[in-house]
Structure 1
Amino acid sequence: MGFEPPQRLVRALGEMYGDAGTADWLGRLPALAGQALDAAGGDLTVERVAAPGGRSSLVVLVHRADGTPAALKIAPPAAGPAQERAALEHWNGWGAVKLLDAAEELDASGALLLERLHHEVSLRSLPEAKALLEAAGTVRRLWVDPPAAHPFETVAERTRRQTAGMRTAAEDAPELAALVEAALAARAELVEAAPEHLLLHGNFRQSKVLAGERAPWLTVGPEPVVGERAYDLARLVRDRVEDLIASPGGPATARRRVRKLAESLEVEQARLHGWTLFRAVESGTRALAEGRRQIGELTLEFAHWL
């Protein structure tokens, strides 16, 4: 199968995993796609690659032998396709894109065969107030008990790994030290007494909710983790951060989002505030380390507002 991966994917993988690792996986991508198509037993016909696509995987639009449209998603091992598969199997289409084929043969190529959604229409296409309302209604469906003997990290485990990069950022840029320390202190307090252990999306935001046929809005691209709902909502709070920064009322809007989301989903406001701070600082410092200076600085400015 011959194709050119979208440049957005090439750039993003280079930022996240380095040029060498990216080049190796991209070089094997045609073979991996062919392997996934073969594993489907000739049931799939390729239409085209979805562009501009995502930042961590290739999505190939296909249709099945019976004419049903589908999407073949192929991701590098570092993106955790096995974890995504496990979460989608557990949700079984409830609030999330439906996994169409659980064939073990697809696992070797890091591929998932998914129901086709309208990849060009996400909640970001809606006005902000409507988008947040729909996002809240969608994410609450995902918050279920995890399966027994589940393979997922806990929020405490994931965030513990992330603290090393944050401390390095503070050492390299002393002006960030106070903000990083505040975020680390918030995390330490939050993980000490976690109120619940639910299956979470892990990277929930407006762009991860796409229009569908089976339901108006369905979630894609989970980075599943087990923990409290406030952690899952924290990324949503800073959605459209570019617009927030450009607005003279940005700080007040950010704090109002924390309050409204906490109230509408019955989450403790202080915990949502704490996780929003931690996740913004972690994301901002990581973006700076990856060379994405503009988004890193915007995210850290947002964190200062909190």
Structure 2
Amino acid sequence: MATAPIEPPQRLLNSLPGDPEGPVRDWLEALPTLVQQRLEGWELTLERVHAPGGRSSLVALVRQQGGTPAALKIPVPGRASALEGAALTVWDGWGAVRLLRSDEASGALLLERLQSGVSLRSLPEAKALLEAAGTVRRLWVPPGEEHPFETLTDHTEQAVTALRTADSLPRAAAPLIEEALELRRTLPAESQERFLLHGAFRQGKVLAGERAPWLAIGPAPVVGERAYDLASLVLDRFEDLAAGSGAAAATRRRVAKLADSLDVDRDRLRNWALYRAVRAGVRESAGGDRRRGELLLEFATWL
């Protein structure tokens, strides 16, 4: 039985379209009912809705029968969360949060409770990168013969149109976009690696746990080469690099350090990092954050 009202956190509402339509609007209206159904069906007691929470799901802190803490995650429809449960099942708690139950109809996931307020971002950069590298290494496992996950080629295909139609960027960004498009075309075809990747790995998605010091959450799973996953760590906390002196040299040192520590080819890591920086810069600019978008594009030039 619910003990508190179900109100979506403001961060989640801000991430939705200004005037949600169709499935998203229906999901918001049905959210209290969806949560209540899972509370009753899985015999959970609601403590509170987690805030500020994420941008693609509502997370409620709950307790199971017997008092064991857990987290109930209800994803926004249409977001890239359908395969999260499948990836967590493959990892089975190795390097990632453990999946306790799932509901195919609603996409709801019942997860072990981690310390949501303590991520790797709370650590000094050098220590955070070390712990992040150790965590992501555990996630790189074979996906299985008949896995449901996209390949990198398919996964990045959707970015092509966005990159080609970017029209809110300075003209100087055009060569970077063309380079990113070429890298997107050639990199997946050149690699023979077929690992299950987190897909959205960064320091903020690694939380403190009890059965393990650090565990990953919120995957957007994809199958491909390790350098793609590691590239997101190259971008992590890029604002800190930009604020310091010698940003370009510091960025290249980060690439070398991460590549060497995980036995990943430096050039491929650099190339995937450039692609992901340009893709993120275009996305941020299209979403209205031109300052962040242009800083990401500048970051790409340092690589």
Query: Aligning the two structures, in what range does the TM-score lie when normalised by the shorter sequence?
Result: over 0.9
Aligned pair partner of 2:15 in 12, 15, 34: 12
Moved more, 293-302 or 80-89: 293-302
Report the equivalent of 2:78.
Answer: 78
Contact kept, 8 Å, 1:117 with 1:212, in 2: the verdict is yes
CA deviations on 1:209-237 (whole Å, 9 max, x unpaired) are 00000100000000000000000001110
Hey, which bits of structure 1, 4+ residues long, moved more than 6 A? none
Q: What is the number of residues matched between the two proteins?
A: 299
Report the equivalent of 1:130.
Answer: 127
Report the equivalent of 2:139.
Answer: 142
Contact kept, 8 Å, 1:46 with 1:61, in 2: the verdict is yes
The residue identity in structure 1 corresponding to 2:296 is T
3-state secondary structure, aligned to 1:79? coil
Report the equivalent of 1:58.
Answer: 58
- Identity value in percent: 60
3-state secondary structure, aligned to 1:138? helix
Residues in 2 aligned to 1:23 and 1:270: alpha-carbon distance in whole angstroms: 44
Q: Report how far residue 173 of structure 1 moved.
A: 4.9
The residue identity in structure 1 corresponding to 2:10 is Q
Residues in 1 aligned to 2:84 and 2:215: alpha-carbon distance in whole angstroms: 15
Q: Report how far residue 288 of structure 1 moved.
A: 1.1
Moved more, 50-59 or 295-304: 295-304
1:242 and 2:243 are equivalent in the alignment? no
Report the equivalent of 2:28.
Answer: 26
Moved more, 261-270 or 173-182: 173-182
Structure 2: unaligned runs, 5 residues or longer: none
Q: Report how far residue 171 of structure 1 moved.
A: 8.2
Residues in 1 aligned to 2:25 and 2:296: alpha-carbon distance in whole angstroms: 29
The residue identity in structure 2 corresponding to 1:39 is G
Residues in 1 aligned to 2:257 and 2:171: alpha-carbon distance in whole angstroms: 34
Contact kept, 8 Å, 2:209 with 2:215, in 1: the verdict is yes
Contact kept, 8 Å, 1:170 with 1:180, in 2: the verdict is no
Report the equivalent of 1:39.
Answer: 41
Q: How does 1:1-306 map to 2 (within 5 A)?
A: 2-14=5-17, 19-20=20-21, 22-40=24-42, 43-102=43-102, 106-169=103-166, 173-306=170-303
CA deviations on 1:221-277 (whole Å, 9 max, x unpaired) are 000000000000011101112212111222111111110000000000010001000
Residues in 2 aligned to 1:149 and 1:287: alpha-carbon distance in whole angstroms: 35
The residue identity in structure 1 corresponding to 2:211 is R
Contact kept, 8 Å, 1:237 with 1:258, in 2: the verdict is yes
Residues in 1 aligned to 2:269 and 2:192: alpha-carbon distance in whole angstroms: 12
The residue identity in structure 1 corresponding to 2:84 is E
CA deviations on 1:106-129 (whole Å, 9 max, x unpaired) are 221221000000000000000000
Structure 1: unaligned runs, 5 residues or longer: none
Q: Report how far residue 170 of structure 1 moved.
A: 5.3
Residues in 2 aligned to 1:191 and 1:285: alpha-carbon distance in whole angstroms: 21
CA deviations on 1:64-87 (whole Å, 9 max, x unpaired) are 111100000110232233300000
Q: CA RMSD in A?
A: 1.6
Q: Report how far residue 175 of structure 1 moved.
A: 3.0
Q: Report how far residue 38 of structure 1 moved.
A: 2.8
Residues in 2 aligned to 1:9 and 1:253: alpha-carbon distance in whole angstroms: 34
3-state secondary structure, aligned to 2:201? coil
Moved more, 286-295 or 80-89: 286-295
Residues in 1 aligned to 2:36 and 2:80: alpha-carbon distance in whole angstroms: 20
Q: Which has the higher helix share?
A: 1
TM normalised by structure 1 equals 0.93
Contact kept, 8 Å, 1:187 with 1:274, in 2: the verdict is no
The residue identity in structure 2 corresponding to 1:54 is G
TM normalised by structure 2 equals 0.94
3-state secondary structure, aligned to 2:251? helix
The residue identity in structure 1 corresponding to 2:7 is E
The residue identity in structure 2 corresponding to 1:274 is N
Q: Report how far residue 137 of structure 1 moved.
A: 0.2
